[in-house]
Amino acid sequence: MPRVLSKAALREIGKEALAPREIIDVSLTPPYAVWDYHFVNDNKAVTFVCDGVTTTYTPLGFSRGPYQSESDESVDRISIALDDTNRVWANIVQGVLIQGSRIRLRKLFKGLQTNEQDGLRIFDGFLGAPTFDDQTFSIEIRSIVAYIETELPPRTFQSGCNYFLGSTGCGVDMSTPQNTRTFIAGAGSTKYRVRAPELNGYQFRHWESGYVRVLSGSEKGSVRPIGSSAIGQVNLMVPFHHTVEGREVSVVRGCRKTKNDCVSRYDNINNYGGFSEIPTTPIIDE
């Protein structure tokens, strides 16, 4: 006969503090020591404060497949799928190379853990090429063991550039004021945009495809992608949780990995890492 639990026991088991949550950290550039994005598989944000640094995990509904390992393969893998009925994610990755980014997937109990570093590590690896249809955006993560002492991503035969902006292969100096500006967000800045006199000298679309990183305050370390920019301001694709007015921020330029960006925005065609003249139809078929 099954044991009947008391109301007190059922109440304790049902407490939100005991509900596990899965969190994702994303690092975009080598050596993958800084985590640029933080997500939690929940309908509300989760915030941790550790050693004076606040990290906020943005809500993101996702489903993941099981941890896969085979006896005849040395590379373990796991997959993550996102709802993409409006093709939001598919449109984002069209101009941004996410293949090779590092992903760390962990599980934690928010009510019992005050430090996200205490979470149970489920998987740590690098993204493969994403796939998407009219409903789902899917990515496969391959074990970090497969890439030890390997520069990522490897050189591949594709039309888009596979170098990270500012990396050795790219050669662009990201420390110049033309590519990175650090300042106090000025009047008129909100959760959705950053305004400052330091941005007045840059033309329309100059900062597009880049990102804004908060360097002070409650959201220190938070990063948001730039959707558009104009003289004196940049507009964000995803808002911060609080206004950034009066906070120190860093605005960093981006690249859409196209030959046109390499030529017109950076005058860097000699270091272009793609093969823009790949034919779409094999000559033998013609």
Can you give the pLDDT at residue 74? 53
Mean pLDDT by 10 residues, the chain (286 residues): 62 59 83 82 80 81 75 68 76 68 82 63 82 81 61 60 84 93 95 94 90 89 89 91 93 89 90 74 50
Distance CA 128, CA 255 (A): 20
Can you give the pLDDT at residue 196? 95
Distance CA 83, CA 100 (A): 22
Q: Where are the domains of the chain?
A: 20-147, 180-254
Residue 79 φ then ψ, to 5° = -125, 150
For residue 125, give the H/E element and its range. strand 120-127
Can you give the pLDDT at residue 251? 95
Strand partners, 79: 140
Q: Are 226 and 254 in contact (CB under 8 A)?
A: yes
Can you give the pLDDT at residue 94? 63
Can you give the pLDDT at residue 245? 94
Q: Mention every residue, 6+ apart, whose C-beta is less than 8 A from residue 35.
A: 25, 26, 27, 104
Global pTM value? 0.53
CA dihedral (194, 101, 58, 95) in degrees, to 10, reads 50
Distance CA 160, CA 107 (A): 35
